[in-house]
Structure 1
């Protein structure tokens, strides 16, 4: 009895990595939504709802929702960054057909394709966390404003500064990874130009005796 063909290990690893990336992005955004909801509800309502949120059923639903939310946030971030991505791509590939041909050539070499997949993994996390960081900063500031805390102005300034720096850091990381990826793809798939050999002066004609 023949067994059904098993998926290749590389495909399984890639699928697992993508699942983790989406989940990481979704958990970050869901955390921001939770802080935002807590800030809007206020201290009294939060204390009443805390026992319900701590149940295993709520934890399982939150995990499932975080994965679905991660897909949505990843697509939203990709759409928002599309103009910047196209500008970076045009620096290495002037036309879409040239980029498509380079992608086909890259797929023919597994080692290069694996490194490109790793770069795309980091890229997806960075672009998703641009939105996550912005939401977490806004939610934290609102929570600090609503709840009775000491040194509120200092905490608000600190949270805002850290949030802005984190958001900018994720954007710069995305920008660097994207630009570097296009440059490497162009260098790997563009045929090297032949080097011209400098012309040598003609050899002197032999002297006749």
Structure 2
């Protein structure tokens, strides 16, 4: 009798999810760098380089480079947001040891651990795209000034506002996910207080005859 296939391990699923997260963030950074490079090169040089950029070899190299850039921008964003992250964590965990102990406890609960991994996945994407939004706005502004376009001031203002709004939106999302994650982790790993059992009053001793 053929045994049913075993479900994919959670470690493999988590590794795949992290690869996708890093790639999504890295593609955003690579796009911003591409726009910035095109703006610096100018219209004539960009037209000459366009056929090379469209080859399968260049596409494969860009995908690999995007993953490497995703790791870089994720670490940069995490470092930049570290003071805010530590402040949010101390609101739910007084010490780093208490937080580490809570993480250890949650890893022993598969359902809750999967939910925590999903929250961290969204968190990584949001924090990476805070920096990506800023870079894309600046690169787009520079490209609009270098290339001949109509209504340039309006387009530059629009790109700047949209980039700022995107960065603010990703930051607020990261802040909310981080704070909520710490609160949930503390609530899920803190044992409920023991209920006090009311003591029965002692019966008075019988009087001696």
TM-score, normalization by structure 1: 0.89
| Per-residue Cα deviation, 1:100-154 (whole angstroms, up to 9, x for no partner) | 1111111111110000000000000001111111100000010111111111111
Q: How many pairs were matched up?
A: 197
Distance 1:114 1:53 in 2: 40
Counterpart check, 1:21 vs 2:21? yes
Counterpart check, 1:130 vs 2:130? yes
Deviation at 1:196, TM superposition (A): 5.7
Distance 1:199 1:90 in 2: 38
Distance 1:179 1:150 in 2: 44
Secondary structure in 1 aligned to 2:91? helix
Q: Residue in 1 aligned with 2:45?
A: 45
Q: Residue in 2 aligned with 1:63?
A: 63
Counterpart check, 1:146 vs 2:146? yes
TM-score, normalization by structure 2: 0.89
Deviation at 1:197, TM superposition (A): 7.9
Q: Residue in 1 aligned with 2:79?
A: 79
Distance 2:62 2:105 in 1: 41
| Per-residue Cα deviation, 1:154-188 (whole angstroms, up to 9, x for no partner) | 11111100000000000110000000000000000
Q: Residue in 2 aligned with 1:3?
A: none
Q: Residue in 2 aligned with 1:193?
A: 193
Counterpart check, 1:107 vs 2:107? yes
CA separation of 1:192 and 1:145: change in aligned 2, threshold 3 A: same
Where does 1:170-185 land on structure 2 (aligned, <5 Å)?
170-185=170-185
CA separation of 1:150 and 1:193: change in aligned 2, threshold 3 A: same
Q: Residue in 1 aligned with 2:97?
A: 97
Counterpart check, 1:35 vs 2:35? yes
Give unpaired runs (5+ residues) of structure 2.
Answer: 1-5, 205-209
Distance 1:40 1:151 in 2: 21
Give unpaired runs (5+ residues) of structure 1.
Answer: 1-5
Secondary structure in 2 aligned to 1:44? helix
